Structure 1
Amino acid sequence: MPRTPTPLRLALLSFALFACIAFWRAQQPLSTAPPAVQGRVVISAPVLLALYGGDRFLAANLETFRLAATGIEHGQTDTHYLVRAQQVVAELNACQEDNYYLANGLLTWGGAVEEGNEVLRAAVDCRFWDEIPPFFYGINLAFFQQNNEEAARILEIGALRSPQNAAAMRKLAVMLRAEQFADEDLALNYLTRQRDSASDHKLRDMLDKRVIRLQGLIDLREAQRRYEDQHGQLQALQQLIDQSIVNGLPNDPLRLGYELRDGRIEMKKLKIAGLEEQP
């Protein structure tokens, strides 16, 4: 019998070994964890300025393109890298539009609130014609940091830059200040004065709806006090009507209405899935 050539035997043995290894690997559970995002090098602003021949605008633009392309990998955001990179871009050119958009979306709303707001603050100062940075920054101050007074001030800056959206921004600023009043009567007085002094008819109409809504809340809370003096704790708003305390629930111009929450009548709020309640 002729013998099998040695190279053929080695080839068959290698294939058998490969098949065994492949079969073993196929039986192993797949890892679902994505690769960890590693830290990346961020070049300082002075070095970038030298590399791009002293053109800080070109340096800021190209660095923004780079961080937009490399800041997210395998579905993960490298926040530490973005914080350092976007601060460098803001140092080169605080007016860079893409940079403040990315800072707001990826940093502030990604958990690095103060770092993202730092880029927005620089954009507010630099882009003196642009309403968007004050809007982003004002919303962030109110939403994340509950600094309503500073948020209202920033939104008023945005209103001065925006003929089209001035009324909406001023209305939001007024509402943020009104929320600081613990007493609803003081809040109503403040809103009424702001409405009556508004020269913009759009703003006046917006605030008028808020005044009517707040007045309805005050009336319902007074009715609740009268009801509970006579009948004990209020369990449902309908009881106010059934006991002839009120003829009906107040009309809400915003069509949201009122509700009994934890034993206290409150204005209903628009609820957005995944976000906290919005006024």
Structure 2
Amino acid sequence: MRTLLALTVMLLAWAGFAATGLLLRDHPRPDAGAELLRVRLPIPVQLAYSAGDPFLAANLNVFRSLMVEARVTEQETYRVQGQLQADAAFFNPRHEDNYYVAAAILPWNGQVAAAQTVLLKAAQSREWDMWPAFYYAFNAMYFEHDMNKAGHWAEVAAERHPRNAAALRDMAAKWYERGDDPAIALNILVAMFEQSKDENFRALLAARIVRLQGLQKLREAAGEYRQRQGRVPSRLEDLIGHAGLEALPEDPLQLGYLLSAEGQPQLADHVKKQDSQ
């Protein structure tokens, strides 16, 4: 009886949602472009819309995330994408595409917390898979600057991949000692680029790679500037002419770069760019 009642309520909820969609179909909508995300439904509604199937609900969220084009640089889209992928991880924490896309896209667009939510759930549930643990460790090191967390999860990845355990443990040791290093990030993105077969996804990764290469050149110039001038740079233009830097690197995503208070070049993410305007 309870099962029948629950099924009836679920069907009524789904019917109500479908009817609402039909009513709104002819209403004018903002011309935001098909590649932008604006809507994230509450989890119970997502489940009802998927006829009570959590795996279908997860797949729908991941599919929506994959539809974001590589040229998108709009903050709200990535905020909604982060929510959608976190919801997908709630429905199906083992979803491989979900954690892979989250690792490659979300943290590089100001959605570190969402990416880490997806990756942690995947790492905890996919006990045979080294990659979500490894990406979680990398984000902990590179974005969160939590070296203890990074080292721990790199060691977890090592336990799951005996063949590369020595290299992973060596990396864990280095992560305990090192902080923000674009060279490490470049290695990760290049590996993901080479493994991916999706052209849109590869285009997005290629843009991230070029962006990090620009950051690497800026940091080399900043290091030489400090040695020559005995002080830190006050603006990015000061770095031109140092370490072979002839001009400021162009960012394919048009977000640009920033100088930290210590004169260290940094990637400008969507949040920082918005706050500075």
Q: What is the TM-score with the length of structure 2 in the denominator?
A: 0.49
Whose radius of gyration is greater, 1 or 2?
1
Which has a greater percent of helix? 2
